[in-house]
Amino acid sequence: MIVAVDGPAAAGKGTIARRLADRFGYAYLDTGALYRAVALSLLRAGADPADPEAAARTARNLHLPDTADPGIRTPEVGLAASVVAAIPRVRATLLDLQRNFARRPPDGRPGAVLDGRDIGTVICPGADRKIFVTATPEVRARRRHLELLGRGEHSIYSSVLADLRERDARDANRVDAPLRRSRDAMVLDTSFITADEAFRRACAFVESAQ
């Protein structure tokens, strides 16, 4: 069983995907963390995230544990991740890792939930269930802003909104694997519902495939 959860930044897909994996005993892969980890490694090395050579080399040397670094969660790394993610060789390098995870989930789990931008369209077009999680830019920016404040970080709502719009535009307009809804995905707009309600709807949708 493969569940694909896609959508724009801070729409709530990570929370939904993680809870689905917990509920059904599936493995979970946050694919955004892969691009973020590549971006962080480049920034730490003083390299330009837009440099295709350096980015592709860094992606080839990426190991899953690199994604556990809390340093990947900053807004700067998020923006750099969307630059890195627009480089076709980076995406090609990370493709096998993601497909292998979906086809053969670790620890013999009976399924996998992957969240990202292109899971239902490119990584796993044959996924059993596809969910496109979305919300208005203002709601998403507010959530990310509160999340940053909750972590004790400095945050300004208007900057969060501007960053998010910039990232959305880059993700949706890139040539390779742009962010878009797969035609067979259920749309889950979380703008005006609680996290629990969003999870309940996602759960019912996945259950109906079992």
Should residue 137 be labelled a site residue for ligand CDP when binding is judged by CB under 6 A? no
Q: Which two tokens stand for residue 84?
A: 């890195």
- By beta-carbon proximity to ligand CDP, the closer residue of 145 and 167 is 167
**Which residue do the tokens 């980015």 mark?**
55
Q: Is 194 helix (H, G, I), strand (E, B) or coil?
A: coil
**3 strand-pairing partners:** 113, 129
Residue range at the interface with ligand CDP (CB under 6 A); choices 6-14, 46-54, 55-63, 186-194:
6-14
Q: Which of 132, 141, 171, 202 binds ligand CDP (CB under 6 A)?
A: 171
- By beta-carbon proximity to ligand CDP, the closer residue of 101 and 118 is 118
Q: Which of 49, 105, 116, 120 binds ligand CDP (CB under 6 A)?
A: 116
Within the chain, residue ranges assigned H as helices are 13-24, 32-44, 52-60, 75-84, 88-103, 137-150, 157-173, 195-207
Residue range at the interface with ligand CDP (CB under 6 A); choices 18-26, 113-121, 147-155, 185-193:
113-121
Should residue 32 be labelled a site residue for ligand CDP when binding is judged by CB under 6 A? yes
Q: How many CB atoms lie within 10 A of CB 45?
A: 9
Separation of alpha carbons 33 and 68, rounded Å:
8
**Which residue do the tokens 């040397």 mark?**
61
Separation of alpha carbons 171 and 153, rounded Å:
25
Should residue 120 be labelled a site residue for ligand CDP when binding is judged by CB under 6 A? no
For the bound state, the minimum distance from the C-beta of residue 63 to ligand CDP, rounded and expressed in Å, comes to: 18
- By beta-carbon proximity to ligand CDP, the closer residue of 19 and 118 is 118
Separation of alpha carbons 92 and 96, rounded Å:
8
For the bound state, the minimum distance from the C-beta of residue 20 to ligand CDP, rounded and expressed in Å, comes to: 16
- By beta-carbon proximity to ligand CDP, the closer residue of 195 and 204 is 195
Return the residues of window 64-103 that contact ligand CDP according to CB under 6 A.
78, 81-82, 85
Contact status, residue 172 vs residue 180, Cβ threshold 8 Å: yes
Which residue type sits at 151? R
Residues at the site binding ligand CDP, with contacts judged by CB under 6 A: 9-10, 14, 31-32, 35-36, 78, 81-82, 85, 116-118, 167, 171
